[in-house]
Structure 1
Amino acid sequence: MGQWRKTTAVDDVQAGLERMDHDVFEAIAGADNPQLDAVIPRLTTAANYSRLWIGLAGAMALTRKSTMQRAATRGLVTLACTSLVANQLAKRSWSRDRPGHASVPLARRIRRYPRSSSFPSGHSASAAAFAVGAGLEDAPAGAALGALAGLVGFSRVYTGAHYPSDVLAGWGLGTLIAVVGGKLVPPPTTRSRISTEPYEIDEPGRPDGDGLVLVVNPASGDGTGERILKQVEKALPAAEIIALTPEDDIVQVLEDAASRAAVLGVGGGDGTVATAAGVALKAGTPLAVFPAGTFNHFAKQIGCATAKQTIGAVRAGTLEMVDVATLNGETTLLNTASIGAYPRFVEIRERYEGKIGKTLAGVVAAWRVLKDENSVRIRYDNRTLTTSLFFLGNSLYRPSGFAPVDRASVGDGLLDVRMLEIGKPFSRIRTVVSLLTGRLNRSPLYHELHRPSFRFEVLGEPSAVAHDGEVGEKMSQVEFVSHYRVLPVYRPR
């Protein structure tokens, strides 16, 4: 008797839901709105065979934004999986008659009325799958696509192709598959970064440059050095300026300048600036950096992208203590070091990123350099691995992966070590897939370490160690050490 009452209650609920489903459909189908009649049927037709979503994915890919490109890729993959499940499994498992072509006014009827099962709505499932999948990679894009997916679902009821419950089931199915996909292939996450406050020093200002000895190569940076020389002569007339010649020993010239300078100035690229930093550190002299090279990464990092900014800092007397890293206790580096094919990887990536975007350019570069002939076998912390891409930064770079852009500061006391392991089964293909999906930082082949020192041994032939844009000597024993906030440099506030 109890079982009979339970079954009756379930039947009553089911019947009530069916009546409500039909009532909602009739209210929507019976609506008289010429404006919607002109737009909604076209929208539902555009979504046939997922043409709408494929077109949007193409537009997203063309933005060249890595998050949008990942969103387009994940959205299409999720859509394909959902379409397969909805059309080949769900519709074959539940047979339900559609409302009928004549259930809506003639103005909004679609030309080719579908004959498959009404439950669930395949259009709605695909719409939700693409929107939610894309939203896992790019939330703003997902929100906009979600609104469009809602309109597509509404269009299926408005044109008489589905009941509201069919649309709700489709949305649920697409969302579920997108969420499961997100669990199986998680979107990239931002690694936690160490937050530091700058260690600033106020020194007496030098309005006319008194005490500054500037060593500059007039020929550096395609003539930038000559322009800086003239700017400093005009803005800081009391400064002593030494123009390098091709015959000069730059280290000797810098050491002589530091011996009589209150402030050692240098005009050159990153390699020259790193050499000057080592000299200034030994002499206990503040450093003023004038950007005269090709890239000037360190100068830009400390806010001295132009000579005018450095001149302003010298006049105001504003300094900051920054980290300096050393290689085997002798060579000073301010930015990065590398072994293996990393310089070649950067060269190829930068060549293509303006045309196809940074993500795809990274894939192309990785595919071309991940070969055994570029590999170096190293041992560190009782661990041995073979790598073809090895990057080390002075302080932590961002973002993770092999496309670092900048640093939050040059004063966190840590080295940023990144290695891409090869020699494992299908390592080349696995790396390319990780780059395409934006999941390199989750790959077991990618190693990222943050520590104050890093020492390793090269197994086999010694490997050349490049640093701050300069190709260094070949070494078998390599040790990098971060020296925490030991160098005062002039920089704007």
Structure 2
Amino acid sequence: MAVVGGRARRAAVRGLLAVAGASALSNAVLKPIFPRRRPPAGSVEFAHRRGLPSPRSSSFPSGHSASAAAFATGVALEYPAAGLVVAPVACAVAYSRVHTGVHWPSDVVVGAGVGAAIALATRRWWAVRSEDPATLGPDHPALALPDGDGMIVFANPGSGSDGDDPVSEIEGYLPGARIVEFDADRDFAEQIDDAVADLSPKALGVCGGDGTVVTVAAAAVRNDLPLAVFPGGTLNHFARDAGAGDIASTAQALADGDAELVDLGRVGVDGDEPLTFVNTASLGGYPDAVRLRERWQPRLGKWPAAALAMVRVLASAEPLRVEIDGRPHSVWMLFVGNGRYSPADQVPMSRPELHRGILDVRYLLADHRWSRLRLVAAALTGTLGTSRTYVQRRVPDVSVTVNGPKVALATDGEVVADGRQFDFRSDPQSVVLYRQV
């Protein structure tokens, strides 16, 4: 499941974390507190089939049952279909403890309950990601392009995983569309403007990761053209949130002329022309982690490099002294989301709304004593929303002034600028996005 990626990988990770918690609780805490003898030899039907000596630890509760139930429940929380496949295996593990005569039935029942409870408790500090798309703005008339005639689709060949070929699938659905692959040695925005000037398209399309999507989205607004998004990156946050997670549905929206309005985020840096973001912008530790990840990725791969970079940054991070809307603070990190993210009191996992002209602003305060330790404790116990070290606001705009040297700004996972003055604002319902109704 971990190798497959996506929901399956999240399910595997949650399941394994639940196993670790259930095993620790049942074996290291509950068994010593509630000592109970194992069933005597021959007292349980089929016990002679065990063929192994009876364990000497307490019989209550069943650690195997706890681990099996924890994994199955954790998987089901993230990926219900996979949970249905795993559940019979977990039931077989639980039954086997009685069948082989090493546990009483009550040990197994309580153990399974402990495992399921631990898995459910993981939601307190790691929210389950919703697969439902965000609510977008009102319907907006758009030109129907059944075969993609008159449309330019910009594709980034450097996006996505090796072996994927979404461009061929797009060509199959939209044979009339003009496919333009970006030249990595030239500025993407310039290439878009040149193609628009030469071909006078009726709509723009984009196939790539979020960094590519934001560039084409900004060009669509600049040229007053509707936009079609085709997932072609590794994570495809915007495409998934906006309900454009597969090529077939977007092609159908183009054929029907179905479109809705979507917000963009803007940020001005030191008074320069505002930059655009479709998902998030951040200051503090995250941009530094992105830079380290980019440096180490060629040698280690993306995910190991990202994990090591975050550990390195958190261990050595220094708080930023800033003014947020004129009020002085010391912060570890500042997050600005385009639209409303959920949950509000945990690490954001999904985006229910993308059309109300709001920014989801969150920052981690370093103003309080032992703030880093308190933040970690709050995150692990699911009490981040009530911690004095965590602030979450929903506003149409926010101004951040850094009192010190320039700091890096990251938008949509890429470091894009350094500065001291950052003016964030929502650009409400500025993109006409093809989406199947």
| From 368, 386, 395, the counterpart of 2:339 | 395
- 5+ long unaligned stretches in structure 1: 1-61, 92-96, 116-120
Residue identity in the other structure for 1:250: A
1:86 matched to 2:34? The reply is: yes
> Who is 2:3 aligned against?
none
| From 344, 361, 370, the counterpart of 1:417 | 361
CA distance in 2, matches of 1:184, 1:313: 40
Shift of 1:416: 3.2
Using structure 1 for the length normalisation, give the TM-score: 0.57
Shift of 1:324: 1.1
CA distance in 1, matches of 2:112, 2:235: 46
RMSD: 6.1
> Who is 2:176 aligned against?
236
Shift of 1:415: 2.6
Q: Which structure ranks higher in relative contact order (CA pairs < 8 Å, sequence separation ≥ 6)?
A: 2
CA distance in 2, matches of 1:106, 1:153: 9
Q: After superposition, where does 1:128-167 map in structure 2 within 5 Å?
A: 130=66, 134=70, 138=74, 152=97
> Who is 1:339 aligned against?
283
CA distance in 1, matches of 2:128, 2:38: 50
For the pair shown, the structure with the greater C-alpha radius of gyration is 1
> Who is 2:421 aligned against?
477
In 2 relative to 1, CA 341–137 (structure 1 residues): closer, same or farther, beyond 3 Å? farther
> Who is 2:79 aligned against?
none
Contact 1:263 1:288 in 2 (8 A): no
> Who is 2:331 aligned against?
386
In 2 relative to 1, CA 489–255 (structure 1 residues): closer, same or farther, beyond 3 Å? farther
Residue 125 of structure 1 aligns to a residue in which SS? coil
Contact 1:394 1:416 in 2 (8 A): yes
> Who is 2:5 aligned against?
none
- 5+ long unaligned stretches in structure 2: 1-8, 77-82
- Could you report, residue by residue, the CA deviation over 1:321-372 in whole angstroms, capped at 9, with x for unpaired residues? 11111113822222221222314546888999xx9xx9x9987554322144
Contact 1:67 1:137 in 2 (8 A): no
- Could you report, residue by residue, the CA deviation over 1:453-476 in whole angstroms, capped at 9, with x for unpaired residues? 333332322322122354333232
- Could you report, residue by residue, the CA deviation over 1:379-431 in whole angstroms, capped at 9, with x for unpaired residues? 4364623214x433222456789986664553354333344455866666666
CA distance in 2, matches of 1:240, 1:182: 46
User: 256-265 or 281-290: which moved more?
Assistant: 256-265
Contact 1:131 1:146 in 2 (8 A): no
Q: After superposition, where does 1:100-119 map in structure 2 within 5 Å?
A: none
Shift of 1:297: 4.8
- Could you report, residue by residue, the CA deviation over 1:185-204 in whole angstroms, capped at 9, with x for unpaired residues? 98437489997366333434
Residue 432 of structure 2 aligns to a residue in which SS? strand
CA distance in 2, matches of 1:300, 1:456: 29
CA distance in 2, matches of 1:283, 1:241: 17
Q: After superposition, where does 1:35-54 map in structure 2 within 5 Å?
A: none
Q: Number of residue pairs matched?
A: 401
> Who is 2:6 aligned against?
none
> Who is 1:118 aligned against?
none
In 2 relative to 1, CA 434–152 (structure 1 residues): closer, same or farther, beyond 3 Å? farther
Using structure 2 for the length normalisation, give the TM-score: 0.62
Shift of 1:488: 0.7
In 2 relative to 1, CA 349–460 (structure 1 residues): closer, same or farther, beyond 3 Å? closer
